[in-house]
Amino acid sequence: MCWRLIQSTFWSQNSTRWYVPTEVRVKSITDIEKPTNVTEVKSFLGACNFVRKHIAGYATIAEPLNELTRKGVDFKWEHPQQEVFDTLKKAVTSEPVLVFPDYEKPFHVFSDASQVGQGASLMQLGGADGKTYQVIAYVSRTLALSKRKWPAVQIELSAIISACGNSSRYLLIAGRDPLRPQALDFSTEEVSSK
């Protein structure tokens, strides 16, 4: 039996702690011309989707382009679509650095939501001073039209649940009570039985 090894490079690892998309991946996105039809928009979004965890709020940013791909929507490339197209290309080239998780440190999940989408950042304290938040991953999604009618509190809570669910592969492995709010450290004497 003969085994053949095929090598592929998807990420450029610049140290043992962080990584960025390869130059080839970035160039493949920045070289895409302005889409002229729905298929080309889907192709561009698919290419950007590969690096979406490097782009904070990706789903909300990309919403005007996603709108063009929905059934029954006429293809009209206007200023909002061009602005999003340029923004995504710029975001891909800005080299947002993601760090590898350190399972000995606590994780911090920051979430936010709007009437259009939800986003979150999974972070850990690190850096030279140990006091700087470093991003492990960004997650985001657009809201379905029915969920856009929810009250703001429900949308925000849904963002927290979504953020924890999308980050569970990191949070569950850590085994450090990552979801316990630190502000609620009560001793048993302080808590009433009611």
Do 112 and 84 sit in the same domain of this protein?
no
What's the CA dihedral at 169, 49, 118, 172 to 10 degrees? Answer: 0
Do 123 and 152 sit in the same domain of this protein?
yes
Residue 139 lies in a domain: yes
Residue 136 lies in a domain: yes
> What is the domain range of residue 24?
18-93
- Domain boundary pick from 51, 68, 93: 93
Query: Which residue is it, tokens 């009560």?
Result: 186
Q: Write out pLDDT tens, residues 29-87.
A: 889 999 999 999 999 999 888 788 778 888 889 999 999 999 999 999 999 999 999 99
| Domain tally, the chain | 2
Q: Write out pLDDT tens, residues 145-156.
A: 899 999 999 999
**Residues 156-170 as b or e (16 or more Cβ within 10 Å = b):** bebbbebbbebbeeb
Per-residue pLDDT at 100: 83
Do 145 and 83 sit in the same domain of this protein?
no
Note the residue count of the chain. 194
pLDDT at 175 over 70: no
pLDDT at 114 over 70: yes
Q: What is the spatial distance between Cα 125 and Cα 132, in angstroms, rounded to a whole number?
A: 5
Query: Which residue is it, tokens 């950042």?
Result: 121
Contact 116, 60 (CB under 8 A): yes
Residue 188 lies in a domain: no
Q: What is the spatial distance between Cα 106 and Cα 104, in angstroms, rounded to a whole number?
A: 7
Q: Whole-model pTM? A: 0.60
Q: What is the spatial distance between Cα 104 and Cα 194, in angstroms, rounded to a whole number?
A: 36
Contact 126, 102 (CB under 8 A): yes
